Amino acid sequence: MRKLFLLILLYASLSISFGQEYTDLEASLDNFIVKKREKFGVTGLSVALLIDNEVVLSNGYGFANKENQVLADENTIYAIGSISKLLTSTSILKLYDEGKIDIDRPYTDYVPEFTMKQHFEGVQPFTVRHLLAHFAGLPRLNAKGFLTKEEKPLSRILEISKASYLISRPGIVNQYSDWGTELLAVLVEKVSKQSFQEYVRDNVFSPLKMTGSSYERITSTQSYQNGKPIPTYEYSYPGADGVIATAKDIANLGQMYLNKGQFNHGTYLSMAISTDALTPQFLNAPLNFGKNNGLMWDVNQFSQYTRISKGGIHEPFYSMLYIIPEFNMTLAICSNSNSNAVIHRAIYGKVVDYLKKVKTGEPTNISSPKLKPVTLSDDEMKRLTGLYSTDEGIVKIEQKGQRLRVYFDKLDKTLVAKPYSNNILRLKAKLLGIIPIHVMDVFMEEVNGEIVVGERYASGRRSLGGVKIEKKAIPASWQDALGRYRISQIDESEYQNLHEVELKINKFGILEISGQVLYPNKFSLRLPLSPVSNKLAIVPGYSFDFFAGETIQIVNNDGKKDLIMSGYTFTKVN
């Protein structure tokens, strides 16, 4: 009895000490968030943090509606943007767990009416797993009708697909695709015989106690840009966007995955399936480059822990959900302001720095693979020189002795690059025109006869950013089509993304389409085109960009030239 009593006292003292540690974290984190909210000009946000299955912090900061003096709290509802995709993937995995589908079977086994055009021969149909991991070879989205002022039926995505083109064979490249997630939502409707929203309500929201979550329009929380109230778009397709939720709701979702499918003392998903969801997929894909996508999750492995995350933007709302299995942590952050992750990263960093000390007793050590300068042959140099279509616009690489000159057209800046081992170019710029400083590392690889480029980060992780543009003769049909085009059809229920574009041959001798995106943010658009026939041209590359990989079409309409781009029809005006 005496030993038992001592053990109880020891356990109690440890519990008090352990609890006190998290009390300290709660206090310091609360103060940290208050300061950072003011520093970054965030009007309102809510944070839910759980460690070892205990709530450490669930609170709101600032205003849900500043004009009406409504404070943000743990029950404030936010538009969570692409975190909605996790509700879609969870629905698919629920059907998989119940034996109603097999994610390794072709998508058309469940949605046989789906068809899409392609430029490739002998393509095998993509599987449900390809869609879940963004490896199906689909474009990012169809700009026309993606954001709407009224709800559209999901079946519309099947009609859009019939007239559209894949950007690659399945299993080749990780191309983030809202389009693909909408197709998953269609599958849920087909198999469950319910509307997608009803299925998620009954089979995800309800069992995971996501009581503040729905697909309704957000009315209780105002959205802000730099402290000024601005409207947000009202609808988008529900598979990729459209969920409104509280931070503690999406933390519940994270907890289920963190606990390997267990939730509220019961099994929601099997351990095997929930673990598979957080496991990097298609690691041997030719254009993967360590992207480490799980089944709709981003997975990043560091030396002492794994960060599993998903972010969501619903202009100007911004939300993040983080899981760290090694630290038994789930963190959800939702804000109604500014569409950027700066405060989310700061809060995440504060929590992780604390947990690294508590859980490991030492800071994380990220070691970058060591690189050595190398000398390339003339043939290797010539293969690298040329024009590249990248996230940063057209980049021109020219040989200069044993170095390379890298010209960024968008910035009108030239940097000097020196080749290093592991197919790395180390770019340097002159500070004040005198001192060379290291700017970034770019990797280059030849895959299936195509040279791809991207950024290599300090951790060694690589992010695909563009491809080499093979200069081809521009067909006469495309030269005849040069000129300005104006949008010829717009539904009043749609937000207009584009109005006018120009088809031209740019200063590099490359066919190019340019214009201005109008919504949700205004920015200039310049897309190089690679003609593949007299009527079809591809926007070369693979990236997060809306239009990467898309096919642009010329159509003759009663003697006039029309361009079809991302679902919009443009008619020539000069």
pLDDT band at 146 (very low <50, low <70, confident <90, very high): confident
Model pLDDT, residue 361 = 62
Contact 467, 453 (CB under 8 A): yes
369-378, 472-481, 516-525 — which one is most confidently predicted on average?
Answer: 472-481
Note if the bond before 373 is cis, omega within 30 degrees.
no
C-alpha torsion sign, points 346, 546, 461, 254: positive
Contacts of 511 by beta carbon, 8 Å cutoff, 6+ apart: 474, 478, 503, 504, 505, 528, 529, 530, 531, 537
C-alpha torsion sign, points 350, 351, 356, 359: positive
pLDDT band at 9 (very low <50, low <70, confident <90, very high): very low
Average pLDDT score, the chain:
90
By mean pLDDT, which of 82-86, 165-169, 425-429 is the weakest?
425-429
Structure tokens at 200: 């998620």
Question: Tell me, what amino acid is at 41?
Answer: G
Measured in whole angstroms, how far is the alpha carbon of residue 150 from the centre of its chain? 25
Please tell me the pTM assigned to this model: 0.92
Inform me whether the pLDDT recorded for 5 exceeds 80.
no
Model pLDDT, residue 14 = 35
Helix (H, G, I), strand (E, B) or coil at 205: helix
Inform me whether the pLDDT recorded for 367 exceeds 70.
no
